[in-house]
Amino acid sequence: MSTRTPHQHEAALPDRLDAVRRARVLNRLTIGWNAVEGVVAVWAGIVAGSVSLLGFGVDSGVEVSAALVLAWRLSREGGDDCTQADDRTATRLIAGSLALLAAWITFEAVGDLVVGARPEASPVGMAVAALSLLVMPWLARAKRRLAPALGSRAVEADAAQTDICAWLSAVLLAGLGANALLGWWWADPLAAIGIAALAAVEARRTWRAESLEDTCCA
């Protein structure tokens, strides 16, 4: 149990300007990483015929779009107006992108299960998933630490989406590994359905969540 006083906890948080600066740096890292990851994953998915890799690559594109939405949200800092409405808009856009991703992956994965599509093994895809599993948890924690200082539900939603990317990496790695090592072709579309389910749950939670108290409006 924490023994920090409210004053100590408040002092431990970065000030708002510093938090905005850090959030912008993390946002640029997110865009750069996911752009490269997405291109490689989509290419590997097409080569291997893997719906889970394709879904993972498209999710990286969603991550980029969410990061761009968040960049717009952060650009609203520094003015005299309250950013609470902007924060809500950004949060809803992030939630909507997750819902669309879940629907697309489910459609593709069910189709592959029905026709019995057999993907090839993808060492490149496994390497991408393993790297993402190392990078994404760190990035999510760094973002989440800044959300209270910014009073931003959008920053928290973006951190949650980065967490989802880490879980997706684990599910993808399991599916690709089962296909490559055991010949379980159905593990790939099942992993894709798992990815879609995680995205759908996070979309619903993000859409329904209330905004954090906006510190600039307090």
Task: Check residue 41 and give its pLDDT.
Answer: 92
Which residue type occupies 144? R
Give domain status of residue 13, yes or no: no
Give domain status of residue 9, yes or no: no
Give domain status of residue 200, yes or no: yes
Task: Check residue 42 and give its pLDDT.
Answer: 93
Tell me how many degrees the CA angle 99-102-108 measures, rounded to the nearest 5.
Answer: 145
Q: Which residues of the chain have pLDDT under 50?
A: 1-2, 4-12, 80, 82, 211-218
Tokens of 86: 């902007």
Task: Check residue 9 and give its pLDDT.
Answer: 45
Give domain status of residue 1, yes or no: no
pLDDT digits (tens, 9 = 90+) for 57-78: 888 887 887 788 778 777 766 5
Task: Tell me the three state secondary structure of residue 118.
Answer: coil
Query: 113: domain range?
Result: 18-217
Tokens of 154: 């959008």
Looking at the structure of the chain, the number of domains it has is 1
What is the average pLDDT value for the chain, to the nearest integer? 78
Q: Cα–Cα distance between 123 and 58 in angstroms, integer?
A: 19
The enclosing H or E element of 211 equals none
Give domain status of residue 83, yes or no: yes
In whole angstroms, how large is the CA radius of gyration of the chain? 19
Give domain status of residue 6, yes or no: no
First to last CA, the chain: 28
Q: How many helices (H) and strands (E) does the chain have?
A: 7, 0
**CATH number of the domain that residue 115 is part of:** 1.20.1510
Q: Cα–Cα distance between 140 and 34 in angstroms, integer?
A: 13
Task: Check residue 11 and give its pLDDT.
Answer: 45
Q: Cα–Cα distance between 14 and 105 in angstroms, integer?
A: 38
Task: Check residue 77 and give its pLDDT.
Answer: 64
Give domain status of residue 8, yes or no: no
Q: What is the pTM of this model?
A: 0.70
Task: Check residue 83 and give its pLDDT.
Answer: 54
Task: Check residue 2 and give its pLDDT.
Answer: 45
Give domain status of residue 7, yes or no: no
